[in-house]
Amino acid sequence: MNTQEKWHEMHSQKRHQPRYPSADLVSFVLKNFKKNDQILDLGCGGGRHVKFLAENDFLAYGVDYSANGIKATQEILDFHKLKAELKVASVDDIPYENEKFDGVLCYGVLLYNSKEVIEKAVKEIYRVLKKDAIAYVVVRSIKDYRYLNNEKISKYEVLIKENNDSRSAFEENGMKMYFFDKDEVKRVFSDFKQIEINHMEMSLENGAICNHSYLIVLKK
């Protein structure tokens, strides 16, 4: 089963559909965007961030390559009587015209793709953003326990093998993931005129493992 098929299966199960938006994303959006701005959630999954955008008076758009993810997102919107435009599509082929969006959100999505797809996806994010518009992208760093504890395929790519079913990486078994250091962030996003790199980390199991992500703000 490839990564896309695995996500398609996972999005058919409600336990793999987080209900609440990430606090850092909420803060970023409310600080940087205004009512009726057009914002794309690229890789929207089960729809938690699309719902947040729609209920806060943004013009919400969601794209995901899993039809089950899009279905779950639509069900959430329908239940709450909210509206958004949703499309099944890949991150490296965004089905919108040039310079359409005031903002793009891509939260924990790029890392499930190959280097080549990531590079194409970043060019697509750049293409669909308006001039001076911003994107918020979250990726995992090489300080994350998944990178440190698994088989390296290349400098940044890892094959996940997790035997502990209490850890989140257990659901990612068999997936290839792409991790970043700051130099790789700067290389991949070099087309953008401004790149801000922050980080977020959370230790678990009394500090035995650590989730470590880069929070990247990009300006076209």
pLDDT digits (tens, 9 = 90+) for 138-191: 999 999 989 988 889 999 999 988 676 767 666 777 789 999 999 999 999 999
Sheet holding 85-88, edge to edge: 85-88, 59-64, 38-42, 101-107, 129-140, 209-219, 194-204
Indicate the pTM of the whole model. 0.91
CB 70 within 8 A of CB 53: no
Q: Is domain 3-219 in CATH 3.40.50.150, yes or no?
A: yes
Ramachandran quadrant class, 13 (left: phi over 0; alpha: psi -120 to 50; beta: rest): beta
* pLDDT surpassing 90 at residue 9: no
Amino acid, res. 71: K
Question: Greater confidence, 170 or 56?
Answer: 56
Enumerate the domain spans of the chain.
Answer: 3-219
Residue 141, strand partner residues: 180
pLDDT of amino acid 35: 97
* pLDDT surpassing 80 at residue 79: yes
Mean pLDDT confidence for 85-114: 97
